[in-house]
A and B are shown apart, each in its own frame.
Chain A
Amino acid sequence: MIKTLSNNISFLRTTLYISAFVILVVGALTYRSITEVTKSSELITHTYKVNVELEQILSNLKDAETGQRGYIITKDSVFLEPYISGRSKINNSFAELKVLTKDDTILKESLIKVNSLINKRLLAFQTSYRSLPKGDIEDPNFIENFRNGRALMDSIRDNIKGIIKLQNNLLKQRRSEYESDLMATPLLLFSLLLCSLILMYVAYNSIYKNIKRLKATNEELEIFKESTNQSEIVSKHGSWTYNVKRDEFTYSDNLYRLLGEQPQSFKPTIENFLTYVHPDDVEKLTMQVEQMKENIELPYIYYRVVHKNGNIKHLKAYGKSVVNEDDETVLLGTTADITDEIISFRILEERNAELERNNKELSSFNYVASHDLQEPLRKIQTFLSRLIDEEEGKLSAKGNKYIDRIQNAATRMRLLIDDLLQFSRSNKADKVFEESNINLLLEAAKQDLAEVISAENAVITSDTFPTITVIPFQIQQLFVNLIGNAIKYRMEGKIPKINITHQIVEAENEDNIIKPKYSHYHKITFTDNGIGFDNQYADQIFVLFSRLHNKDQYSGTGIGLSICKKIVENHKGYITASGQPEKGAVFTVYLPIA
């Protein structure tokens, strides 16, 4: 935007320069042609004047000649009048011509020649009419004089005619020049004016477009300003500028609100601002403002302000220096109210501390369970074993039966403690996810169950698994629990068979996956041919301590499947069970593909 505008400005400037140049050229040309035209018309007038004077001279001479003839015929001196006046008139004309022809040497020479001829002629007049009274007109001298006069007169006429002809030619030439001047000038002027008009139109067009664009930009800016105002209010921040050289601040409306004041309700100066700053922070902030004036890159500044009603707000400010068009350093700053953040952070910290305390309590409980509860139990069992070893046969049948019962109860208690420990271990916070070879984890699980697998001749078949990112020891535990479960709840008289399959599924195609967070999951199914269960208990079996069978029939604590559920949840996965009594059960585990 700015670039196109500046391009346009340089274009406009060029247009202006060209237009000014054209106008100057037009002016100069107009001046020149007016001078030319004036000069041409002056020259024409000049030629005319010369011609007129020459005609005048000729006519005066003719008058003189006519007068002379009249005098000769009548001897009346009245007829001599034109000759006497003609003389002075001719002189006047010559004086006039002298002035007119002072720059034209050819004409001058011709005129001098004419002048001498005229003088000769006039002399001839004089001689002829002076000689007249002595003789008569038949006097051969007189006739000779007369003839001479006539010849002179012819020569004068020829000369003058020659000059006039020359002058006329000159006039003709000048007129044609004058005319072509008159023709060419308007054409040139017109085309130049046309050029100017076109340039003016182009310039106007460009200005119009710019104005339109500026208007649109202005509107956008207006909207942007308004939305900035709104966003400042919503996000609780204000902005300010500081002109370092002029020591001038501007504050946005919302900055005043952050101080608990009406927009623009006081003069934006650092002194006024500091009156709102918490007394403990004034020194620090003043120092930081000083640094702000010098440093280019500024860190965040944290301080508190106190509203007039006593509310304390935490503010965070950031400024960046820029250089404006007048080459002055201006700091552009943003100040945000982070009171809410600080309060929530404190609450979060408190909750974290509480959680930590809870966790500590939980782990001390774990220790109690693992150590302190086990110790007395172990002693009971050890003493029992010694009692049985050493006092065997010395007790009554009833006594032996009671000891047997005590031993059973103690064994069960140990199982419970061990399983509870296992369960709380699956809760532990330090879960480390690793890319794991699931096939190896399955093998390790089978190893853990080797004794029972071989005792029951269980057959386990499985697909080949890809590597999956899991908490390895937990997934191994999951396999142990699910396979162990399948073997434990086998059908009497049937070899337990467990088939483990793997496939990658899309979350949306699986009804068991509710509100999935991932698009694809590893689906691992454990299908057995055991006693199965009624599907109405499908959810219940995962609940802690819940059992579907009497503990006389199947040993168990009701913790194993709860551990499975916990482990799968730790992996952000799903576990479901479905069963058919007397046929078998299917456990399905979904692990997300992240």
Chain B
Amino acid sequence: MQEDYINITLADDDEDDRLFFTDAFDEIKITTRVKTFNDGVYLMDYLNSKDATLPNVLFLDLNMPRKSGLECLKEIKQNPKFKDIAIAIYSTSASEEDIENTFVQGANIYIKKPSDFKTLKKVLSEVVTINWQYHTNSMNKDNFLLRF
């Protein structure tokens, strides 16, 4: 049964963005289970807990209080337990510096939050259906930032 779901997790401190995110997945015709956390600390606490369901794709906002997305990324990449989680950076900005840093730390894709709900749905459904195994192998700095 569990195999039929794609487990999606989002860490974002912005309530509106969490709302857009969950609404978008509600409307997408893919069976997903979406979990959201209000910041990096809540996220890491959950992931490190014993009965945690590890997500297939983890969306990380960068600018969060207490623990930023970049810090979460570093922690996750250091722990072999999380090696199968695909990580999508999900941020308002797409500065060169942020893209560079997250790429170097091993994130799988960088999404600049769209300003249109239709686009959002399109982007999210695209990302969760990517064959990550294949994508990771062919990943380079040029296709790291998702263009839409």
Contacts and interface: CB of A to CB of B under 8 A. Distances in A.
Interface of A: 367, 370-371, 374-375, 377-379, 381-382, 385-386, 389, 410, 414
Q: How large is the interface on B (under 10, 10 to 19, 20 to 34, 35 or more residues)?
A: 10 to 19
Given A371-B63, A377-B115, A414-B115, A382 B120 contact: yes
Given A371-B63, A375-B14, A381 B93 contact: no
Nearest to B116: A385
A381 B115 contact: yes
A389 B27 CA distance: 13
B118 A389 contact: yes
Given A375-B14, A382-B20, A382-B120, A370 B115 contact: no
Nearest to B95: A370
Nearest to B113: A378
A370 B117 contact: no
Contact of B93 (A370, A386, A410, A414): A370
26 contacts: A367-B95, A370-B95, A371-B63, A371-B92, A371-B93, A374-B92, A375-B14, A375-B92, A377-B115, A378-B113, A378-B114, A378-B115, A381-B115, A381-B116, A382-B16, A382-B114, A382-B115, A382-B116, A382-B117, A382-B120, A385-B115, A385-B116, A385-B117, A385-B118, A386-B117, A389-B117
A386 B16 CA distance: 13
Given A382-B116, A385-B117, 11 more contacts: A370-B93, A374-B92, A375-B14, A378-B113, A378-B114, A381-B115, A385-B115, A385-B116, A389-B117, A410-B115, A414-B115
Interface string B97-122: 00000000000000001111110100
B111 to A, nearest CB: 13
B99 to A, nearest CB: 12
A404 to B, nearest CB: 15
A378 B116 CA distance: 8
Contacts of A385: 115-118
A382 B18 CA distance: 13
Interface in B1-46: 14, 16-17, 20
A363 to B, nearest CB: 10
A266 to B, nearest CB: 63
B109 to A, nearest CB: 19
Contacts of B115: 377-378, 381-382, 385, 410, 414
B44 to A, nearest CB: 23
A188 B126 CA distance: 127
B62 to A, nearest CB: 9
Contacts of A377: 115
Contact of B92 (A378, A386, A389, A410): A378
A21 to B, nearest CB: 93
Contacts of B95: 367, 370
Which among A378, A379, A382 has the highest number of chain B CB atoms within 10 Å? Answer: A382
Q: Which 9 A-B pairs have the closest CB atoms?
A: A381-B115, A378-B115, A371-B93, A385-B117, A385-B116, A370-B93, A386-B117, A375-B92, A379-B16
A387 to B, nearest CB: 9
A448 B68 CA distance: 32
A385 B122 CA distance: 14
Contacts of A379: 16-17
Contacts of B117: 382, 385-386, 389
Contacts of A410: 115
Nearest to A389: B117
A477 to B, nearest CB: 13
Contacts of A374: 92-93
Contacts of A375: 14, 92
Contacts of B113: 378
A375 B12 CA distance: 13
A379 B92 CA distance: 10
Contacts of A414: 115
Contacts of A381: 115-116
A385 B115 CA distance: 8
A427 to B, nearest CB: 14
Contacts of B63: 371
B30 to A, nearest CB: 19
A357 B17 CA distance: 33
Nearest to A410: B115
A418 to B, nearest CB: 11
B96 to A, nearest CB: 8
Contacts of B14: 375
Contacts of B16: 379, 382
Contacts of B93: 367, 370-371, 374
A370 B93 CA distance: 6
A236 to B, nearest CB: 47
A410 B95 CA distance: 21
A559 B18 CA distance: 34
Contacts of B20: 382
A294 B113 CA distance: 72
A381 B17 CA distance: 12
Contacts of A386: 117
Interface in B115-142: 115-118, 120
B56 to A, nearest CB: 25
A429 B113 CA distance: 28
